[in-house]
Amino acid sequence: MKKDDTQHKPGTAVPNLNQVQHITPPAHVTTDAQADIDNLKNSYDNFLYVSKAFPNTNINSLIAKGRIYGLNPVPINGARVLELGSSCGGNIIPQALYYPNATFTGIDLSSVQVQHGNELIKSMGLTNVTLLEKDIMDIDDDFGTFDFIIVHGIWSWVPDVVKDKILSICNRNLSDRGIAYISYNTYPGWKRLEQLRDIMLYSEKHAPHDSLKDRTVYTKNVLKLIAETMKMDERSRVYSDYKIKNINRVLHSNDYYVGHEYLESYNDPVYVSQFVEWAEQQGCTYIGDESLQRSFITWLDDAVVENITALSQGNHVDKEQYYDYVYDTQFRMALLTKPINEDMINRDETITIDTLNSLYFYTALDEYDGAPPEWQDKSYISIKELMDLRKPFNVQDVVNYVTVHHPDFEIDMDRIYRRLFLLAIVGHVYVLGERYNQLPFIENKTYIPERFIKYIATLTEGNGLQYMTTGNMYNQIDQDIDEGLLFVMRLLTKPNTKKSMLAIMNENLTVERTRKDGTTFIVPNDEYLEKSLQHIENLGFFRS
């Protein structure tokens, strides 16, 4: 596809890429910010943050996003992954589980969280993931290079000297085909939330205790009282409706999230244009946002696209900045690469057919199955029905599905390509670089490898869930695992039959559930077995 030759404003200097690549990294010297860094360490040691899996950081998805932007990321097999601020490892441990031929390294300041994470890793028996207690400022060129660098929920919450260092690492420690991911709070959307942070910081002087946990509980109660007061007055209720809604979101969030998000010393949102300039100063090249709709705007109404295009005058950074002004963006997930890849990046919002043919799609929607009755296009209907199967599919799978289920329909490949590209941009499907085979249960054929059983056992029996969430093969959180599921999994260490498993379950397992009204009931074992087998298939644990 054609390259956009107008990505720089007339009269502005084009960066010297060779010069940018040799920027000296920020020196690790004692700074005025060191006390704040130490305070951050103590904060996370004392008020543990449950370490979550984030699908946006799944390397399979990052590979796909890189291709869409015109790059050629390394494949999963043999990939080297670094996460800065890894906590207990909840974001990379599931990926290490599903991608045993990739290696994952996480570093974190918190010795407590690193210790918990390493204990979980040892219990799971994973050998391709390592957590290190290490200061980001101590990473140098000798630390090695990585194909993917993940920095989620860190950049906005550290001093500027650490921000510089993170971006420097995303240049100097990134492989030539590498992709770095950095999430950050952004303006203008965060200006609304800053009001709540200001209220909490102002009110915490009256908090009865010094611990972050106690301050969090106290300041959430302050917000609750303020919201109740706003509702008492009609004028305030009208003008502050948005603020009341934001307060309610805070009140319903976990204390550990609220404390670290709103009460830490640092929470510094920036505009996307400022972030890109900051990244370039440290030798990085901005690819675009992980959320494609913030960089690919042609999915919007024509009139909106026309106005944003007129405002941005051909500059891709200005385009994203004006998008944020219009849609009040408050959080972004930047993708960065080495300057040597600048000329490969697609800035004109097109994609090649070969790229679409190389991708896999997986539904991101949790809604009713089936296409709306008013739909007539059989290719659209077929794509929706493939999404409903909750398994990855590609362009050829769509063609095969249409051929089998709608043999009289004349296939229009252009419409299929356009539809899939649109669904990927607006986030209705996840895009993957490689297919993950979700095998179904087949009697006397499929089984579950030991590493998956150890993973679930560590999280349930080993109380690992108090430190991290469960992640599936797409790094989505699965909240439904329990010891009953583990019991069924242990019956499948080797191929088995439903009859044999059910006989063992009837002698040893009773599953009790609670209804919404508080009453309890016993789930029939045959029903529970069927649901468990489907759950295991959805988790991608079966092998043959």
Q: Residues 324-364: pLDDT tens digits?
A: 999 999 999 999 999 999 999 999 999 999 999 999 999 99
pTM for the predicted model, two decimal places: 0.87
Tokens of 288: 């675009």
Please report, rounded to a whole number, the percentage of residues in the chain having pLDDT higher than 90. 72
The CATH number of 37-188+269-344 is: 3.40.50.150
The C-alpha atoms of residue 441 and residue 492 are separated, in whole angstroms, by: 10
- Say if residues 457 and 486 touch (Cβ distance below 8 Å): yes
User: Which pLDDT tens digit goes with each residue over 407-424?
Assistant: 999 999 999 999 999 999
Query: Among residues 96, 182, 84, which one has the least CA distance to residue 132?
Result: 84
* pLDDT exceeds 70 at position 446: yes
CA dihedral 344, 350, 355, 359 (to 10 degrees): 120
User: Which pLDDT tens digit goes with each residue over 357-411?
Assistant: 999 999 998 877 888 888 989 999 999 999 999 999 999 999 999 999 999 999 9
* pLDDT exceeds 80 at position 4: no
Give the residue extent of every domain in the chain: 37-188+269-344, 191-262, 360-432, 450-539
Please report, rounded to a whole number, the percentage of residues in the chain having pLDDT higher than 70. 91
210 Cα distance to chain centroid: 32
Question: What pLDDT is stored for residue 193 in this prediction?
Answer: 86
The pLDDT confidence band at residue 2, using thresholds 50, 70 and 90, is: very low
Question: What pLDDT is stored for residue 28 in this prediction?
Answer: 59
Question: What pLDDT is stored for residue 253 in this prediction?
Answer: 84
Amino acid at 281: Q
> Is 13 buried (19+), middle (13-18) or exposed (0-12) by CB count in 10 A?
exposed
Tokens of 125: 């028996």
* pLDDT exceeds 50 at position 12: no
Whether omega for the bond prior to residue 26 falls within 30 degrees of 0, making it cis, is: no
Residues 6 or more apart from 219 whose CB is under 8 A from it?
199, 200, 203, 204, 207, 262, 263
User: Which pLDDT tens digit goes with each residue over 422-440?
Assistant: 999 999 999 999 999 899 9
Question: What pLDDT is stored for residue 48 in this prediction?
Answer: 62
